[in-house]
Chain A
Amino acid sequence: MSETSENHVSMRTRLPSFIRRADPAVLTAFGCILLLLFLGSLYSSNFLSPDYLLQQLKVASFLGVVAAGMMVVILLGHIDLSVPWVMTAGAMMACAVAGFGNTGSVAAIPVGILCGVAFGLLNGIGVAYLRIPSMIVTLASNVVAQGLMVVYTGGFSPQDSAPPAVRWLATGAVVPGLPNAILVWLAISAAMVFLLTRTAFGRAVYGIGNSERAAFLSGVATRSVVMIAFVVSGALSAFGGVLLAGYASKAAQAMGDAYLLPSIAAVVLGGTSILGGRGSYLGTVAGVILITLLQSILSVMQMPEAGRQIVYGVVIIAMLLLYGRAPPNR
Chain B
Amino acid sequence: MTPAETPPPLFRMEGVSKRYGGVRALEKAQLEVAPGRIHAILGENGAGKSTLIKIMAGVVAPDEGRILLDGQEVTFRSPAEAAAAGIACVFQELSLIPDLSVADNIVLSNPPRRFGMIDRGAQRALAEEALARAGAEDIHPRAAVKDLPLSRRQMVEIAKALASKPRALILDEATSALTAADVAKVFAVLKRLREEGLALLYISHRMHEIAELADTCTVFRNGRNVATFTAGSRSNSEIIEMMIGREYSNVFPPRQPVAKPAKAPVLECRNLGWTDRLREISFSVGEGEVVGLGGLEGQGQRLLLLALFGVLRGTTGSVLVDGSPVTISGPAVARKPPLAMALIPEDRKTEGLMLPMTVRENLSFAALDRVSRGGVIDRTKEEQLIDDMVRLLEIKTAGLDIPVGTLSGGNQQKVVIAKWLMRKPRIILLNDPTRGIDVGTKQELYQLLRRLAQAGAAIVFYSTDYDELIGCCDRVLVLYDGRVVRELEGDTISERALIASALNVEAGQEGSAI
Contacts of B366 in A (CB 8 A): 218-220
Of the residues B375, B398, B406, contact of A200 by C-beta under 8 Å? B375
In the bound complex, how far is the Cα of B353 from the Cα of A213, in angstroms? 10
The answer to whether A5 and B403 touch across the interface, beta carbons within 8 angstroms, is yes
A2 close to chain B: CB less than 8 A: yes
In the bound complex, how far is the Cα of B354 from the Cα of A212, in angstroms? 9
The answer to whether A218 and B403 touch across the interface, beta carbons within 8 angstroms, is no
Contacts of A215 in B (CB 8 A): 354, 365
In the bound complex, how far is the Cα of B350 from the Cα of A329, in angstroms? 14
- Chain-A contact segment, one of B81-89, B291-299, B329-337: B329-337
In the bound complex, how far is the Cα of B355 from the Cα of A30, in angstroms? 27
Of the residues B311, B335, B365, contact of A207 by C-beta under 8 Å? B365
Residues A2-17 near B (CB distance < 8 A) = 2, 5-6, 9
CB nearest to B345 among chain A residues: A217
In whole Å, how far is A137's beta carbon from the nearest beta carbon of chain B? 22
Contacts of A206 in B (CB 8 A): 354, 357, 361
The answer to whether B419 and A211 touch across the interface, beta carbons within 8 angstroms, is no
In whole Å, how far is A87's beta carbon from the nearest beta carbon of chain B? 28
B230 close to chain A: CB less than 8 A: no
In whole Å, how far is A164's beta carbon from the nearest beta carbon of chain B? 35
In whole Å, how far is B363's beta carbon from the nearest beta carbon of chain A? 11
Task: Give the one of A204, A217, A218 with max B CB within 10 A.
Answer: A218
The answer to whether B375 and A201 touch across the interface, beta carbons within 8 angstroms, is yes
The answer to whether A5 and B353 touch across the interface, beta carbons within 8 angstroms, is no
The answer to whether A200 and B372 touch across the interface, beta carbons within 8 angstroms, is yes
B356 close to chain A: CB less than 8 A: yes
B369 close to chain A: CB less than 8 A: yes
| Given A206-B361, A219-B331: A214 touches B353 (CB 8 Å cut-off) | yes
Of the residues B336, B356, B398, contact of A277 by C-beta under 8 Å? B356
Interface string of B346-376 (1 = CB under 8 A from A): 0000111111110001001110110010011
Contacts of B372 in A (CB 8 A): 199-200
In the bound complex, how far is the Cα of B377 from the Cα of A275, in angstroms? 26
Contacts of A203 in B (CB 8 A): 361, 364-365, 368, 377
Of the residues A9, A198, A211, contact of B351 by C-beta under 8 Å? A211
In the bound complex, how far is the Cα of B350 from the Cα of A211, in angstroms? 6
Of the residues A204, A207, A214, A278, contact of B350 by C-beta under 8 Å? A214
A152 close to chain B: CB less than 8 A: no
B405 close to chain A: CB less than 8 A: yes
B449 close to chain A: CB less than 8 A: no
CB nearest to A210 among chain B residues: B354
The answer to whether B355 and A210 touch across the interface, beta carbons within 8 angstroms, is yes
CB nearest to A218 among chain B residues: B366
A216 close to chain B: CB less than 8 A: yes
| Majority secondary structure of chain A interface residues (helix, strand, loop or mixed) | helix
In whole Å, how far is A24's beta carbon from the nearest beta carbon of chain B? 14
In whole Å, how far is A229's beta carbon from the nearest beta carbon of chain B? 14
In whole Å, how far is A26's beta carbon from the nearest beta carbon of chain B? 16
A221 close to chain B: CB less than 8 A: yes
The answer to whether B405 and A329 touch across the interface, beta carbons within 8 angstroms, is yes
In the bound complex, how far is the Cα of B351 from the Cα of A201, in angstroms? 19
The answer to whether B375 and A216 touch across the interface, beta carbons within 8 angstroms, is no
In whole Å, how far is A12's beta carbon from the nearest beta carbon of chain B? 10
In whole Å, how far is A59's beta carbon from the nearest beta carbon of chain B? 33
Residues B297-352 near A (CB distance < 8 A) = 309, 311, 330-332, 334-336, 343, 345, 350-352
The answer to whether B332 and A213 touch across the interface, beta carbons within 8 angstroms, is no
| Given A203-B365, A211-B350, A277-B354: A5 touches B331 (CB 8 Å cut-off) | no
The answer to whether B356 and A213 touch across the interface, beta carbons within 8 angstroms, is no
In the bound complex, how far is the Cα of B375 from the Cα of A203, in angstroms? 10
In the bound complex, how far is the Cα of B354 from the Cα of A278, in angstroms? 11
CB nearest to A211 among chain B residues: B354
Of the residues A200, A211, A213, A216, contact of B377 by C-beta under 8 Å? A200
The answer to whether B355 and A217 touch across the interface, beta carbons within 8 angstroms, is no
In whole Å, how far is B318's beta carbon from the nearest beta carbon of chain A? 22
In whole Å, how far is A17's beta carbon from the nearest beta carbon of chain B? 11
In the bound complex, how far is the Cα of B470 from the Cα of A76, in angstroms? 43
The answer to whether A199 and B331 touch across the interface, beta carbons within 8 angstroms, is no
In the bound complex, how far is the Cα of B365 from the Cα of A15, in angstroms? 29
The answer to whether A217 and B311 touch across the interface, beta carbons within 8 angstroms, is yes
B402 close to chain A: CB less than 8 A: yes
The answer to whether A5 and B405 touch across the interface, beta carbons within 8 angstroms, is yes
Interface string of A39-52 (1 = CB under 8 A from B): 00000000000000
Contacts of B354 in A (CB 8 A): 206-207, 210-211, 214-215, 277
The answer to whether A199 and B357 touch across the interface, beta carbons within 8 angstroms, is no
The answer to whether A2 and B408 touch across the interface, beta carbons within 8 angstroms, is yes
In the bound complex, how far is the Cα of B408 from the Cα of A227, in angstroms? 35
Contacts of A330 in B (CB 8 A): 355-356
In whole Å, how far is A111's beta carbon from the nearest beta carbon of chain B? 27
In whole Å, how far is B399's beta carbon from the nearest beta carbon of chain A? 9
In whole Å, how far is B186's beta carbon from the nearest beta carbon of chain A? 35
| Given A198-B376, A200-B377: A219 touches B332 (CB 8 Å cut-off) | yes
| Given A199-B376, A206-B357: A219 touches B351 (CB 8 Å cut-off) | no
The answer to whether A214 and B408 touch across the interface, beta carbons within 8 angstroms, is no
Interface string of A60-75 (1 = CB under 8 A from B): 0000000000000000
The answer to whether B369 and A200 touch across the interface, beta carbons within 8 angstroms, is yes
Contacts of A277 in B (CB 8 A): 354, 356-357
> Which B positions have Cβ atoms within 8 angstroms of A?
309, 311, 330-332, 334-336, 343, 345, 350-357, 361, 364-366, 368-369, 372, 375-377, 379, 398, 402-403, 405-406, 408, 419
Sorted nearest first, the 6 A-B pairs with minimum C-beta distance are: A210-B354, A219-B335, A200-B368, A218-B366, A219-B331, A5-B406
A-B contact pairs, 27 of them (CB 8 A): A1-B405, A2-B406, A2-B408, A6-B406, A198-B377, A199-B372, A199-B375, A201-B375, A206-B361, A210-B357, A211-B350, A211-B354, A214-B354, A215-B354, A216-B311, A216-B330, A217-B309, A217-B331, A217-B352, A218-B331, A218-B419, A219-B331, A219-B334, A220-B368, A277-B354, A277-B356, A330-B356
14 further A-B contacts with Cβ under 8 Å, apart from A198-B376, A210-B356, A219-B366, are: A2-B406, A199-B375, A199-B376, A200-B368, A203-B368, A203-B377, A204-B368, A211-B354, A215-B354, A218-B366, A219-B332, A219-B334, A277-B356, A329-B405
